[in-house]
Amino acid sequence: MTSPASGSTTGWTWRLHGPDGTVLDPSDLDVDVPVEEAQGEAESWLGEHWRTLLERGAASASLLRGDTVVYGPMGLSAS
pLDDT (tens digit, 9 = 90+) per residue, 17-64? 999 999 999 999 999 999 999 999 999 999 999 999 999 999 999 999
With respect to residue 8, please indicate whether it lies within any of the assigned structural domains: no
Residue 37 dihedral angles phi and psi, to the nearest 5°: -80, -25
pLDDT (tens digit, 9 = 90+) per residue, 25-34?
999 999 999 9
With respect to residue 61, please indicate whether it lies within any of the assigned structural domains: yes
For residue 17, the one-letter residue type is: H
Residue 10: the pLDDT is 84
Residue 6: the pLDDT is 44
From residue 41, give the alpha-carbon distance in Å to each of 1, 23, 38, 56, 67. 16, 22, 5, 22, 17
- Which candidate, 69, 7, 64, places its Cα nearest to that of 39? 64
Task: Give pTM, 2 decimals.
Answer: 0.85
Task: Write out the residue range of the structural domain in which residue 38 sits.
Answer: 16-75
Residue 9: the pLDDT is 61
Q: How many domains does the chain have?
A: 1
* Distance of alpha carbon 26 from alpha carbon 48, whole angstroms: 16
2 three-class SS: coil
With respect to residue 1, please indicate whether it lies within any of the assigned structural domains: no
